[in-house]
Structure 1
């Protein structure tokens, strides 16, 4: 038992030293404290609302022609693939954004924002920003 605790402590210390948080280790791409978000999540909010909300609705809740990303967020690999390569499901088609410099480099940031929304850690509207 003591070895497990020591090992877990060492892993978290190493991850923290590499710029990761305990949430990153646990599969979370975001950090929310008292309704305020880290820089990655805030950037994801901005990027999402610069283009994705036109189809997927405000704050990721969906629309009449694009699904909610809050109620059924895919895993990160599926999300990256859909955003970068596009997706066709029946009558619904989304173009890929691999060549778009406003979205392609920020897919993980957008995912962080949507993951925080999907987990219920972040409400609707513009989040506050955590100070570095």
Structure 2
């Protein structure tokens, strides 16, 4: 009996661990990101890179805000409002943000940036450069 357990238990354990990982890999409904063990999917990682290539100058490191622009992780709008603001610009009070609809470094990647900020806003991802999930 002990010999059978040694043969079958690793296979069962391996299957259980693999099944758990697959369930974790799927993005939750309404979420644009995937975070598994502190590592993010390619979209979210690219969003981190794009955010830090331009957005952090005004909105601060990791989306926490600055004296110049508000926090995006403290009050992240829904995806449609986010797209409108980033692509079309936004003016509120005495401050304004230009639109990035014509910028090839940001316009195609708005959803990726949103994925990164959504993971930060949800508390699924901490500050700093995230690890990347392997495909």
* Partner residue, 1:83: 86
Match status 1:123 vs 2:126: yes
Q: What is the SS of the residue equivalent to 1:88?
A: strand
Q: What is the SS of the residue equivalent to 1:121?
A: coil
TM-score (norm 2): 0.81
* Partner residue, 2:77: 74
Match status 1:98 vs 2:101: yes
Q: CA offset at residue 116 of structure 1? A: 0.0
Query: Which string of whole-angstrom CA distances, capped at 9 and with x for unpartnered residues, describes residues 83-111 of structure 1?
Result: 00000001110000000000000000000
Match status 1:114 vs 2:107: no
Query: Which string of whole-angstrom CA distances, capped at 9 and with x for unpartnered residues, describes residues 11-58 of structure 1?
Result: xxxxxxxxxx442xx100000000000000000000000000000000
Q: CA offset at residue 70 of structure 1? A: 0.4
Give the unaligned 5+ runs of structure 2: 1-25
For residues 122 and 51 of structure 2, the distance between their equivalents in structure 1, rounded to whole angstroms, comes to: 17
Consecutive aligned runs of 4 or more in structure 1 exceeding 3 Å deviation:
none
For residues 22 and 70 of structure 1, the distance between their equivalents in structure 2, rounded to whole angstroms, comes to: 19
Q: CA offset at residue 112 of structure 1? A: 0.0
Give the unaligned 5+ runs of structure 1: 1-20
**RMSD between aligned residues:** 1.1
| Pairing 1:46-57 to 2, within 5 Å after superposition | 46-57=49-60
Distance 1:104 1:130, change over 3 A: same
